Structure 1
């Protein structure tokens, strides 16, 4: 005998405009029946926390599934899977859709070409699925928004739980973040790690979902914003502190990416207090306790 609980949701058009909505959630365990072959119109993340089974690809190849694992069921892609008929497995699933799925796919959080993903630990994703299940009660006035927001959390938890990624972050990304404020080109960073430019691009794209240039730029501009908001340092000095020897180039880059010039950002976001400002901004990795 197997046990199953599921709830299906029908978010309104206005909820779909939030970008991501939950269509259903379920918790099941035991020798569950075979699923498929079938094809869906939406995404489903199936998190298997205990047990083993199989997944068959559209070309007929069967792969062994061993918990903890994730099955990605993506729109338009046929799928066919089942737990072993003896003990079965323990699974939680969440169905979702929305325009944000395209961006999550581009960033590598959803992987249509990787239907079976080994997880290092299913605890984090299962906790989010349990939260979605609790929020999915029919008398919850925040039902669609709360479950939709939790789908974002689930995608992050699944990314963090992937067995092929270090739980504390990719070493290459950590090193790039550490050296982000040095006046180094992307080629310089690649050479520092003994990698070709192509290898560095692949590593950063896999870990952060963007190019090395965009990854470094995000860190640099984030720090520049902190210095603009919390100090009275000149823009030229801030530019040098975040890795740009040419203040004019830094200002053009800041304006293009942020949508306003550094001086305007400072005017809007300044947190300095007359007689009390300091250029000793706390390290973002070690924030003060308030």
Structure 2
């Protein structure tokens, strides 16, 4: 005996141009039947919350699946899997497609060569799938856009839940972020961590989906944008603050990667206000609030307020 709920969708061309579309979502539990061998033309993420089973590669080798775990079903790749016949498992699945899958694969969020991925906790991904299931009512006019946006969120949640990676980056990534604006080369950063440049590249690629150079550059340019938008520091001083001694090189690099020159960015994004700029992230649960405006005293008060009060009572309904 098993229990299944699923919905499938047919997004239009405009939805596909948003980057990702959800083609289906489902929730199942129990001793589910064997799936495959089969080949799909789209991606599927199968999130297993409890239970266990197996996954078979095209050459017949079986991998044990123990919850919490993720099964990646990728286009054109044969797959064959099933829960344990005695215990079954609890799964949520999402079918999706779109041009953004190529970028997510390049960044390491989708892993075609790693069909079985252990998770540290399935709560986050299953929460996203549950929201997609609630959005899947047939009378929802936002269905395709809402579920498509949730696929992006699901990929992030799955990346955070991977058992082999820290949710917010490992110690090497945290140290690189902390020291990103120091005038250090990639080789210098590697040496500070007792690693070779190749080892650092592997660690950063695995954790952040990019090269150390791009990782550091993204942090430096983000910091530069903040300084340009929120302070009146000269561009040369901004360059030095983010690790570049040559302001001309910084300006060329900024223009090439951002698409606009530093001066132009400041002219369009500047938001400096009296009181200065804070580098502290606000607490969303306790945001700063504008004090309630106090009414200025009436320069010509009514000398007989009791008369006005009696008049008000007479005209009130």
Q: Same fold (TM over 0.5)?
A: yes
The aligned runs of 1:47-66 (5 Å cut-off) are 47-66=47-66
User: d(CA) in 1 for partners of 2:168 and 2:10?
Assistant: 37
Aligned twin of 1:179? 179
Superposed, which structure 2 residues align to 1:112-191 within 5 Å?
A: 112-191=112-191
**Residue 282 of structure 2 corresponds to residue 287 of structure 1:** yes
| Matching residue of 1:20 | 20
Q: Is the 8 A contact 1:56 1:81 kept in 2?
A: yes
Runs of 4+ in 1 over 6 A off after TM superposition: none
Following TM superposition, by how much is the alpha carbon of 1:59 offset from its aligned partner in structure 2, in angstroms? 1.0
Question: Where does residue 210 of structure 2 map in the other structure?
Answer: 210
User: 1:283 deviation in Å?
Assistant: 1.8
User: Is the CA contact 2:55–2:63 (under 8 Å) kept in the aligned structure 1?
Assistant: yes
In 2, Cα distance between equivalents of 1:82 and 1:272: 58
Q: What is the deviation of 1:277?
A: 5.9
Determine if contact 1:204/1:210 at 8 Å carries over to the other structure: yes
Distance 1:201 1:167 in 2: 19
Partner Cα distance (1:251, 1:12) in 2: 42
Once the two structures are superposed, the pairs formed by residues 264-283 of structure 1 within 5 Å of their partners are 264-273=264-273, 276=274, 278=276, 281-283=277-279
Contact 1:231 1:277 in 2 (8 A): no
| Partner residue in 2 for 1:219 | 219
Is contact 1:50–1:90 with CA below 8 Å preserved after alignment?
yes
SS of aligned partner of 2:194: coil
2-structure distance, mates of 1:271, 1:283: 14
Larger gyration radius, structure 1 or structure 2: 2
The reply on whether 1:92 has 2:92 as its aligned counterpart is yes
TM-score normalized by the length of structure 2: 0.88
SS at match of 1:82: strand
RMSD (Å) for aligned C-alpha atoms: 1.0
Deviation at residue 87 of structure 1 after TM alignment:
1.5
Q: 5+ unaligned residues in a row in structure 1: which ranges? A: none
**Secondary structure of the residue that 1:52 maps to in structure 2?**
strand
* Paired positions, count: 285
Distance 1:180 1:282 in 2: 19
For structure 2, the residue ranges without an aligned partner over 5 or more in a row are 289-317
Mapped contact 2:108–2:209 kept (Cα < 8 A): yes
Counterparts of 1:31-42 in structure 2 under 5 Å?
31-42=31-42
Secondary structure at the counterpart of residue 244 of structure 1: coil
